[in-house]
């Protein structure tokens, strides 16, 4: 399986690579290894499937951004982020296979205007292990840990009984998909977020495997650059405060962040 995996990964970025056919083929191999209880090969097949799926989804997310389906792309980017974390938790040696998309995904997430999220507070009362199906109990652990891979399957919990205690507004959510969307009345289903940073990027980023990075620079603009700006208007700096309560009191002017995009990857 390792040789097969290496062959697949060496062709992964080629134009015309058939992700779905490859996934089907590797999945069939994985099932065969699982039947034989060949855990090592089943786990390698799982990792191969994950890598191929991550690259397929990454291309899909890129396509969504091209089509201006920003929230849909956001949700898929989160799935990719989670998938990479799960993969590397079990197979840290395959970092190179996903490192590029990991960096680009995080950069893309930073360019979204989303800052406020809704998040549930939940009490989990009963759950079962996805690997062995046993009810989880504090003193009788089944030996399978969520997030770890066993015989080609990743362990997770199936929640059987839970209670939602509340919903909170957070800035650093457990689940990024829970974006807070503003509405002007019940019939307003428009997305009011401003995606111009992503629009600017997608104007010249035409190949998902073309590396890029961005830098930011803080400057101040003269209030004269905002003709007609009134005290009660939203501050042009984007703080969400009224102008009179924000940059009007700043002797240097209106705060402004300049984003500059450049080709190539810059690591942290």
Partner 1 sequence: MENLIVTSGSHSRDEWMTVAGLPEELKGSVMAADVLIVPSMMPAQPKAFMTGTMDLYAVLKTQMGDKIEICIADDDYEEIELNSRTLRLGRFCVREVVLPVFLGVLSAYIYDRLKEPEPLEVTVEVPEYQQPATVSFTIEVEDSLGKKKEFQYEGPAADYKEVAAEIERLWNED
Which residues in this chain contact partner 1 in the complex, by CB under 8 A? 84-85, 88-89, 92, 99, 102-103, 106-107, 109-110, 112, 114-115, 117, 119-125, 136-141, 143, 145-146, 165-166, 168, 170-174, 176, 213-216, 257, 259, 266-268
Give me the residues paired with residue 217 across strands. 258
We find the least distance from the C-beta atom of residue 107 to partner 1, in angstroms, to be 7
The residue length of the chain stands at 268
We find the least distance from the C-beta atom of residue 4 to partner 1, in angstroms, to be 26
Listed residue (163, 161, 158) closest to 134, CA to CA: 158
We find the least distance from the C-beta atom of residue 244 to partner 1, in angstroms, to be 25
For residue 145, CA distances in Å to 80, 88, 128, 154, 155 come to 21, 15, 11, 9, 6
Q: Which is nearer to partner 1, 124 or 244 (CB)?
A: 124
Q: Which is nearer to partner 1, 82 or 210 (CB)?
A: 82
We find the least distance from the C-beta atom of residue 265 to partner 1, in angstroms, to be 10
Q: Which is nearer to partner 1, 116 or 202 (CB)?
A: 116
Q: Which is nearer to partner 1, 38 or 157 (CB)?
A: 157
**Chain-centre distance for alpha carbon 217:** 25
Cβ atoms 45, 34 nearer than 8 A: no
Whole-angstrom distance, CA of residue 10 vs CA of residue 249: 57
Cβ atoms 142, 134 nearer than 8 A: yes
Cβ atoms 50, 76 nearer than 8 A: no
Q: Which is nearer to partner 1, 16 or 133 (CB)?
A: 133
We find the least distance from the C-beta atom of residue 136 to partner 1, in angstroms, to be 6
- Please, what sign has the CA dihedral across residues 97, 59, 20, 50? positive
Listed residue (204, 177, 186, 31) closest to 117, CA to CA: 177
Q: Which is nearer to partner 1, 21 or 123 (CB)?
A: 123
Looking from the CA of 54 toward its CB, the CA atoms found within 13 Å total: 27
We find the least distance from the C-beta atom of residue 1 to partner 1, in angstroms, to be 24
Q: Which is nearer to partner 1, 44 or 88 (CB)?
A: 88
């Amino acid at each position: 399986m390792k040789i097969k995996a290496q062959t697949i990964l060496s062709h992964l970025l080629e134009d015309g690579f058939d992700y779905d056919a490859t996934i089907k083929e590797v999945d069939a191999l994985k099932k065969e290894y699982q039947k034989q209880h060949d855990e090592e090969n089943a786990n390698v097949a799982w990792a191969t499937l994950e890598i191929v799926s991550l690259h397929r989804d990454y291309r899909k997310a890129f396509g969504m951004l091209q089509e201006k389906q920003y929230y849909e792309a956001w949700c898929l980017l989160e799935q990719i982020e989670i998938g990479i974390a799960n993969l590397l938790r079990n197979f840290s040696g395959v970092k190179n296979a996903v490192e590029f998309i990991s960096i680009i995904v995080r950069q893309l997430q930073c360019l979204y205007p989303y800052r406020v999220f809704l998040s549930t507070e939940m009490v989990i009362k009963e759950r079962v292990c996805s690997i062995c199906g046993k009810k989880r109990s504090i003193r009788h652990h089944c030996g399978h840990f969520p997030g770890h891979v066993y015989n080609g399957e990743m362990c997770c919990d199936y929640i059987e009984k839970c209670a939602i205690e509340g919903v909170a507004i957070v800035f650093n959510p457990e689940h990024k998909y829970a974006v807070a969307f503003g509405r002007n009345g019940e019939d307003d289903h428009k997305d009011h977020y401003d995606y111009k940073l992503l629009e600017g990027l997608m104007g010249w980023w035409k190949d998902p495997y073309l590396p890029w990075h961005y830098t930011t620079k803080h400057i101040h603009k003269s209030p004269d650059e905002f003709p007609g700006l009134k005290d009660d208007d939203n501050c042009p700096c984007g703080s969400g405060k009224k102008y009179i309560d924000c940059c009007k009191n700043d002797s240097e002017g209106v705060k402004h962040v300049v984003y500059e995009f450049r080709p190539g990857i810059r690591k942290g």
